[in-house]
Every structure is written in C-alpha cells, then in structure tokens.
C-alpha cells in the first residue's frame, strides 16, 4: 500500500476510535438565589482549628525552639505563622484532646531548662519536654491573630488547678500568680476567648456517666473564672461543656435539662460535639493515598452523616433552649484515616488529598446551614495530625488541599447565610448514592454575595446556571480547587498538585453561568 493510502486508513481508524469513545457530558444544575433573603450569621468561629500535643503537631509543626536553624520567632516557626495568618484563624483549641485531661499546666511554665520532662501517655508514651506551654501557646495565638480556646483538665485535675491556671493567664491585679506570669515575661493579662470544661469525659477524659460529669461541670463552671478586666462584659469568655461523641442523645439531654433550670451559680455557653469521618469503622483503615473512586464515594457518604448527627442533638437542645442561647460546638471533626505506613501509629500521620478538601467543604456547608445553633467548630488537626492544614518535615513545609479550602472560604466568615433553592441531583456508583452537587451562598458585610459549589462527581463536570434576584450582578469571578485524580496530594517534592486556579463565569440578564470541573470546590464572588 502507498504511503497516502496508509495515512487515509489511519485517519478513518482515528475517526472511528474517537466516535466510539464515551462522551463525558456535563450535568446541568439550576440554582435560585435571592440575595434579599437573610439567614443566620455564619460565625467565623466555625473555621476554628485544633492543636493538641500529639505527634508532630506542636513539636516540629509549630515549635522548633529559639535556637533552631529553621526561621522562628521566639521558637515558633515563621513559615507556619505566615500561612495560618492567611486563613484568618478565629480560634485554636489547646492542649487537647485526650492529652488535655492529663495535662498539668504548671509543668509548662517558667524557664525552659527547669521544666520537668514528662510522658505523653495519651499519645505514644513519648517524652514531652514541656518546652511548649501556656506562654508559648499564647505567643503563637497572638502571632497568628487568633483567640485561645483552652481546655481545662477535668479528668485528672482539680477545680483548684484549673482556677489557678485561669488566674495565671487572665489576672491583671498583682496577685501571686499574675506576678509569676510577669516574671515569666508576660506582664499583660492574656485574653482567653473560650474555656472547654473537660474533653470527651465519656471516654478518655474520665469514662464518666452523664450525671457525674454534670456534677463536675457545675463545680468547674462556677470556680474557673476569667479575671481579665477586658472580658467582663461584651467580650466575656464563653464556657463550653463536654457533649456527645455518639449519635445518641442521653448526654445532651442530661446537660441541657439541667441547664434549663440553672441559677446564678453556674452556666454554659456551648455544648461540644465530636464526630469524625471513619468510613471503614474503628480502627480507621481507609488509606489516605493510593485509593480509588469506590473509597472516595464511601468516605463522602460517611461524612454527610454529620447533618443527621447535628439534627438529633439540635432537637434535644431546642426542647430546653428554644432561644438557642447555648451554641452547639463541633470542636473535633474531620477525616480520620489509616496512619501512613512506617510512621508511629500513635502520631496519627496521614496525607491530605483532593477527596479531603471536598470532605471539608461538605462539612463547612453543613455547619453553615445549621448556623443558628452551630456557632463554632474545630477541625482536627492544624498541623501534621489527621486532616491537617499544613505538613512539615524539618525545614520543609507544604500546604494541603484542606488548607486551600479554608483559604477559599475566608469570605464566608461572619457573612450572612442566604438560602439557595436547587436540586442537588443524584450520583449512583458502587452501591452508594451521593448528591451530585452541593452549594452555599452568603452575603458579607460589604454587601457582596459569595457562592460556593462543590461538584462531588469524580468524572463529570457540572454546568451551573443561577438566577440571582435581590441585587444587580454585573460580573463574577472566582477560583476552583481540583486535580487530576481524587487521591491527588501535595508533597514536599510537588507542592502545587492541588492548588486553586481561576475559573471563568459569565453574567447576563441577572443569570450566572459557569462550568465547574469534576471533583472540585469552587468559590465565586458576585460583583454588583
């Protein structure tokens, strides 16, 4: 055959091949947004963080010491501080977690050389130098521009120990403890925005029955006070009681029934809730790398249970607190996956993929839809542990896909929730049914409307058209987070595999149109 004939045959084969290949067609989703309708405020504290003394979360993640060759300010990593300031982190919970109910604060104050070395029996039995203590945590909080959420030790501590800790931190008058803080280099009283009265008291925090915990809660609530003069009125420290870690409502019922008839001697402002995404059951065995579409679907299906969990607890809280004075605080949540191979399993080291970014957006959207009751949340955890924002290795640092979701969601902090009317559609695969898309809209203080769209479909893009009423929209701009595969991750060698990129959108006659990629998180600002 001549060369020309061969070329002709190749062209025919190529045409047949292309025409027989399955077409990946976009799915259509219509949104109706009325910017004049206002819901609850999406409290900025929903975007809180959690930093427990666990693995490399504090040591190496935040604290390297003032003598480290890694750039630091008074021992705290500069690169980590710079990255976290971009997120406008509203609050950080510390020191735990299970570690918190074994923590005795006096071992972590004073000259570093004189602090005792202790065992972290909660997480691996490793030696803790206590070089990162109260003053270092408060320094970290101030450097990133956040608020302190301090968990006091109810499990193995005493009300006196907790009360003295708060006096050390917050007393402005020249008491012995305030003078001790001054001698340690901190003459000004610290501000403590939130006080956690114990942690998981039903489990690692003491294995208490609900009634017994309630008896302790009343004591700690009364005697553990904030003495800072700047926090005696509108900026009062909020006290948060331990709540449930299972969907059953007995714990919530016990605390809220007592709260309904509480008197001047004790009070709480919030009730905590812990719920992790553990798709394969305990102990967590779902891998954080090298997984496929089936594990992707199972994990997202599991994480959507958060909505039902919140509704169950809210129903009880509404019965005793219809005015919603007590906030529901989801102060531990996120993906708990199998530890990476060849790592200390007690250090809870896992990678962070595009799937985890989508998981984060789904949970943040759920919290926003419950914003009238859910007014605070803390993802677990901030650095190097579980679903973290940041991974470090000596002098190296990489930002995770979850970090970028939090950065994209900054405009939603303290914005006003706007209800959206839309059909999320259905995604059926491997015996699992998921919504095809999820969406969130809110108006910020300047009047600008922000729209978030999560496309759960791992293979097909979504064509979005949105009717926007209640405001004149002239243009729209935004960014999207996606990657080549559901298990795509950022590594120290390839830190930009999953990063936000600009996305185009058109506005015509008050209607917004755009196409969002498969397996993506997209945030759009509607410009008046």
Active-site positions? 200, 332
Give, in order, the Cα–Cα distances in Å from 256 to each of 154, 159, 198, 307, 323: 19, 22, 17, 20, 13
CB-CB contact of 371 with 39 (8 Å): yes
CB contact burial 376-393 (16+ within 10 A = b; e otherwise): bbbbbbbbbbbbbbbbbe
Which residues on adjacent β-strands are paired with residue 435? 426
CB-CB contact of 153 with 162 (8 Å): yes
Q: Can you say whether the dihedral through the CA atoms of 249, 254, 260, 265 is positive or negative?
A: negative
Write the CB contacts of 490 (distance below 8 Å, at least 6 apart in sequence).
Answer: 352, 391, 398, 399, 400, 401, 496, 497, 498, 499
Other Cβ atoms within 10 Å of 283 Cβ, number: 10
| Helix count and strand count (H, E) for the chain | 11, 27
Distance separating alpha carbons of residues 278 and 293, to the nearest angstrom: 17
Place of tokens 């954080």: 288
DSSP codes joined into one string, 142-211: HHHT-EEEEEE--SSS-HHHHHHHHHHHH--S--HHHHHHHHTT--SPPP--EEEE-S-TTTTTT---HH
CB-CB contact of 168 with 105 (8 Å): yes
CB contact burial 77-87 (16+ within 10 A = b; e otherwise): beebbebbeeb
CB-CB contact of 460 with 24 (8 Å): yes
CB-CB contact of 279 with 329 (8 Å): no
Distance separating alpha carbons of residues 387 and 358, to the nearest angstrom: 12
Three-point CA angle 350, 353, 359, nearest 5°: 100
Q: Can you say whether the dihedral through the CA atoms of 186, 84, 199, 323 is positive or negative?
A: positive
Give, in order, the Cα–Cα distances in Å from 508 to each of 27, 475, 477, 520, 524: 21, 8, 14, 24, 15
Please tell me the number of Cα atoms within 13 Å of 521 on its side-chain side. Answer: 28
User: Which residue in 483, 283, 307 sits closest to 400, CA to CA?
Assistant: 483
Element (H, E) at 11: helix 3-20
């Amino acid at each position: 055959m001549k060369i020309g004939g061969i070329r002709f045959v190749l062209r025919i084969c190529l045409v047949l091949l292309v025409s027989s290949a399955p077409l990946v067609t976009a799915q259509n989703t219509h949104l109706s947004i009325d910017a004049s309708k206002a819901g609850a405020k999406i409290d900025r504290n929903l975007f809180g963080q959690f930093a427990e003394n666990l693995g490399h979360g504090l040591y190496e993640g935040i604290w390297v010491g003032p003598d480290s060759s890694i750039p630091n300010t008074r021992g705290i990593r500069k690169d980590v501080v710079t990255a976290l300031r971009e997120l406008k982190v509203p609050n950080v919970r510390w020191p735990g977690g299970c570690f918190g109910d074994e923590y005795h604060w006096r071992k972590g104050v004073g000259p570093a050389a004189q602090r005792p070395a202790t065992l972290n029996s909660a997480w691996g039995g490793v030696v803790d130098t206590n070089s990162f203590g109260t003053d270092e945590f408060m320094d970290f909080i101030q450097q990133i521009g956040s608020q302190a959420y301090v968990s006091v030790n109810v499990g193995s501590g005493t009300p006196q120990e907790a009360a003295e800790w708060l006096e050390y931190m917050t007393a402005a008058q020249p008491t012995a403890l305030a003078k001790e803080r001054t001698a340690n280099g901190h003459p000004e009283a610290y501000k403590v925005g939130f006080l956690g009265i114990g942690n998981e008291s039903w489990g690692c925090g003491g294995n208490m029955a609900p009634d017994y915990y309630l008896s302790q809660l009343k004591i700690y609530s009364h005697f553990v006070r904030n003495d800072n003069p700047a926090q005696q009125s509108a900026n009062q420290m909020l006290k948060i009681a331990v709540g449930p870690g299972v969907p059953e409502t007995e714990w919530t019922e016990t605390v809220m029934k007592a709260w309904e008839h509480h008197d001047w001697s004790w009070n709480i402002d919030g009730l905590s809730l812990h719920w992790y995404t553990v798709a394969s059951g305990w102990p967590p065995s779902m891998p954080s790398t090298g997984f496929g579409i089936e594990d992707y679907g199972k994990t997202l299906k599991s994480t959507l249970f958060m909505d039902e969990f919140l509704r169950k607890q809210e129903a009880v809280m509404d019965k005793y607190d219809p005015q919603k004075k007590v906030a529901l605080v989801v102060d531990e949540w996120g993906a708990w996956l199998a530890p990476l191979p060849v790592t200390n399993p007690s250090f809870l080291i896992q990678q962070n993929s595009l799937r985890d970014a989508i998981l984060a957006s789904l949970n943040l959207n759920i919290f926003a839809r419950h914003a009238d009751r859910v007014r605070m949340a803390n993802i677990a955890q901030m650095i190097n542990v579980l679903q973290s924002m940041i991974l470090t290795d000596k002098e190296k640092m990489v930002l995770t896909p979850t970090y970028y979701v939090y950065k994209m969601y900054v405009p939603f902090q303290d914005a006003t929730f706007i209800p959206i009317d839309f059909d999320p559609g259905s995604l059926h695969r491997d015996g699992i049914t998921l919504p095809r898309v999820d969406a969130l809209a809110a108006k910020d203080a300047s009047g600008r409307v922000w729209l978030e769209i999560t496309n759960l479909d791992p293979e097909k893009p979504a064509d979005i058209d949105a009717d926007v009423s209640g405001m004149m929209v002239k243009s729209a701009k935004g960014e999207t987070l996606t990657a080549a595969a559901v298990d795509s991750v950022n590594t120290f060698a390839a830190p930009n595999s999953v990063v936000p990129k600009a996305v185009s959108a058109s506005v015509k006659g008050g209607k917004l149109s755009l196409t969002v990629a498969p397996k993506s998180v997209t945030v759009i600002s509607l410009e008046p």
